[in-house]
Structure 1
Amino acid sequence: MSAPERIPPRGVTDDPGATADLLARGELTVRGRIREASNAALFCTVAHDGREATCVYKPVAGERPLWDFPDGTLAGREVAAHEVSEATGWGLVPPTVLREGPYGEGMCQLWIEAAPDAELLALVDGEEPEPGWKAIGLAEVGEGRTALLVHADDERLRRLAVLDAVINNADRKGGHLLPTADGHLYGIDHGVTFNVENKLRTLLWGWAGEPLTPEAVEVLDRLRDGLGADLGARLAGLITPAEIDATRARVEALLTSGTHPEPSGEWPAIPWPPV
């Protein structure tokens, strides 16, 4: 018997539809638990019709209750984030599906191996970032000292900042950024998204108040159209009608302002812990 065909992440595979089919229909085998995750996150293999991949399975039954999100909705929000990401054409969220698994319904997402040497965040001395970096804010580093927390001035991060503003991501930490060896960038952990209230918390504030790129404006125009048509229909089974309306309103607000959003002051701007 021949070995199964291994499915790598986007950037290497040319058929994301086939990958989604594998994630949705394949046999899930739990290999271990990701203990750093706040909710139950299981490292698995998924195999179907001679193809195999590694993935993350987060059962709804393992979600911790949150005061500001309805119980049992985080998995659907993860899938919704992938749908919006795909509609942008940027492919920022790994292939993600909602399916039954060994512990009931949950989200299943292709596992991404991050490149170990990619540096997107740093702590530096001084009050201004060096060229090629954007300031986030001052951070305490012990013994009464502070350092400037910065992120790379990278178009991949800038696209992700736009996506986060659209989906109202309340938890964009450094550990949720996965650059790959082939130069692609993924964002993961999108369970706390799409709230109708402004919840944007992120490390990617470096472009706050700056004009959106022409590319971003084109993408937002496309999202606005899609939310009233096919994209809205796909989101309907994953988030509520009010949350879809709020997503459309955020897109409209971005297009009207023409700029990256700034912290509102009504909600902590940076997630804790930041990484």
Structure 2
Amino acid sequence: MDHSLLLDALTAGDWTEMGSIPRASNDTRLLVVEHSGRAFRAVYKPISGERPLHDFPPHSLALREVAAYRLSSQLDLGVVPPTVLRDDLPDGRGSLQAYVEASDDEEAVTLSAVSAIPADHTPIFALRTEDGRDLVLSHSVAEGLRAVAFFDLLANNADRKAGHVITGSCLPSIAPTDIGVFGIDNGLTFHAEEKLRTVLWGFSRASFHAEEIDALEAVAAMDEPLRTALADCLSEAELAALSERAATLLTAEFFPEAPDDRTVIPWPPI
């Protein structure tokens, strides 16, 4: 789907702040942007509202959100909603991402009783709720979610929770049938050290497809267009680590298994 109109709106549209989005770890707000007679909802994350983290550089999460979209776009993965960096927003510089309107399609990641796991899902882990119910988190093995899992390998996503995967549309008023699987909340990405924490381990040991190998080769080569797209968001060390991750995955030829020497599931996982 061509998102050029949406990108133009995010980049230069007039905005109206609608309020804070609850339960977010950092300052996160809903805006409406208007451009060329159309209005779009967008998620604004000001740099000034980022909580300090011990393992990520300060004031860098919004930049990583933008880098995530640019990498997804450069590789034609289509798994990160259009995201731009703007200076003229309510609390200054921050990322502005198209809001994904959830569809009525079956969720790609589910929490259910064992007897209710969808037929095309693979179970990842079990848990017991405070009221004593035994549930299983499972996820689809369809291509849409696989693309998110593949992106997370490259981006070294340290926080792929179940709630960060949405099946829906960025353009519900224009193209309501343009449904995709999107990964949102991509601020904890691109660390130079291995940080992958995800609930999408069900693709482990799956051999890479030809188009995934092409993408890995492109990132490993880190040619000038890709480097230029990412260079104002990531450090040289992070760019080098991204290229090295791709090269390592190429050598392995398949989705890695979860390592047993560190935490591999984000907390909370939902």
TM-score normalised by structure 2 residue count: 0.89
Residue equivalent to 1:156: 144
Give distance in 1, aligned partners of 2:42 and 2:125. 34
Give distance in 1, aligned partners of 2:76 and 2:105. 26
State the AA in 2 paired with 1:84: L
Residue equivalent to 2:112: 123
Aligned with residue 221 of structure 1, among 217, 221, 234: 217
- The structural deviation recorded for 1:187 is 0.8
Residue equivalent to 1:205: 201
- The structural deviation recorded for 1:159 is 1.0
Asked if structure 2 preserves the Cα contact closer than 8 Å seen for 1:87 and 1:223, the reply is no
Deviations for 1:195-247, whole angstroms, at most 9, x for unmatched residues?
0111101110001122122232122223334x232111111100100000000
- The structural deviation recorded for 1:256 is 0.6
Query: 1:30-45 counterparts in 2 under 5 A?
Result: 30-45=17-32
Give distance in 1, aligned partners of 2:162 and 2:91. 29
Secondary structure of residue in 2 paired with 1:175: helix
Asked if structure 1 preserves the Cα contact closer than 8 Å seen for 2:198 and 2:265, the reply is yes
Give the 3 Å change call, closer, same or farther, for CA 31–148 of structure 1 in structure 2.
Answer: closer
Give distance in 2, aligned partners of 1:32 and 1:144. 36
Moved more, 66-75 or 21-30: 21-30
Q: How many residues align?
A: 259
State the AA in 1 paired with 2:231: A
Query: 1:126-137 counterparts in 2 under 5 A?
Result: 131-137=119-125
Query: 1:42-191 counterparts in 2 under 5 A?
Result: 42-100=29-87, 101-120=89-108, 121-125=110-114, 131-142=119-130, 146-180=134-168, 182=177, 183-191=179-187
Give the 3 Å change call, closer, same or farther, for CA 91–117 of structure 1 in structure 2.
Answer: closer
Asked if structure 2 preserves the Cα contact closer than 8 Å seen for 1:42 and 1:57, the reply is yes
Secondary structure of residue in 1 paired with 2:18: strand
Aligned with residue 244 of structure 1, among 239, 244, 254: 239
Asked if structure 2 preserves the Cα contact closer than 8 Å seen for 1:212 and 1:259, the reply is yes
Asked if structure 2 preserves the Cα contact closer than 8 Å seen for 1:55 and 1:108, the reply is yes
Moved more, 60-69 or 117-126: 117-126
Residue equivalent to 1:5: none
Asked if structure 1 preserves the Cα contact closer than 8 Å seen for 2:63 and 2:85, the reply is yes
Asked if structure 2 preserves the Cα contact closer than 8 Å seen for 1:124 and 1:150, the reply is no
Give the 3 Å change call, closer, same or farther, for CA 111–147 of structure 1 in structure 2.
Answer: closer
Give distance in 2, aligned partners of 1:45 and 1:22. 10
- The structural deviation recorded for 1:171 is 0.7
State the AA in 1 paired with 2:60: T
Q: Percent identical across equivalent pairs?
A: 39
State the AA in 2 paired with 1:162: F
State the AA in 2 paired with 1:123: S
Secondary structure of residue in 2 paired with 1:206: helix
State the AA in 2 paired with 1:93: V
Deviations for 1:73-103, whole angstroms, at most 9, x for unmatched residues?
0000000000110022121111100011110
Residue equivalent to 1:267: 262
Task: In structure 1, list runs of 5 or more residues that go unmatched.
Answer: 1-10
Secondary structure of residue in 2 paired with 1:166: helix
Residue equivalent to 2:173: none
- The structural deviation recorded for 1:19 is 2.0
> How much is the aligned-residue C-alpha RMSD, in angstroms?
1.9
